[in-house]
Amino acid sequence: MTQLIELICGVLNIPVDTLTHQSGPETTQEWDSLAHISIVAAIEQTYNVQLTMPEILSVKTIADFKVILENHGVKFSDLL
């Protein structure tokens, strides 16, 4: 999960300690619709997955991305 947070912070160009697993577009000013697409692209490239439109639209928090990635077979070694 830490790697996922670091990835998203990198896309948003914000410090890593800014986000938690409960952070998302509603709680993070930098996370607008364009940033969301950039985050999705970075996640797809990093984890070698292809997210569906319903999955992309369902994301409200970083934890949602984690669940979706786990459904695609991605394993996270660290805990929420």
Q: What is the model's pTM?
A: 0.91
Cα 71–Cα 54–Cα 36 angle in degrees, nearest 5: 90
Q: What would the pLDDT profile of 2-50 be if each residue is shown by its tens digit?
A: 899 999 999 999 999 999 999 999 999 999 999 999 999 999 999 999 9
Residue 51 burial (10 A CB sphere; 0-12, 13-18, 19+): buried
Distance CA 34, CA 26 (A): 14
Domains recognised in the chain with CATH numbers: 2-71 (1.10.1200.10)
Distance CA 29, CA 20 (A): 14
Residue with the bigger pLDDT between 76 and 46: it is 46
Reported confidence tier of residue 60, pLDDT bands at 50, 70, 90:
very high
DSSP assignment letter at 16: G
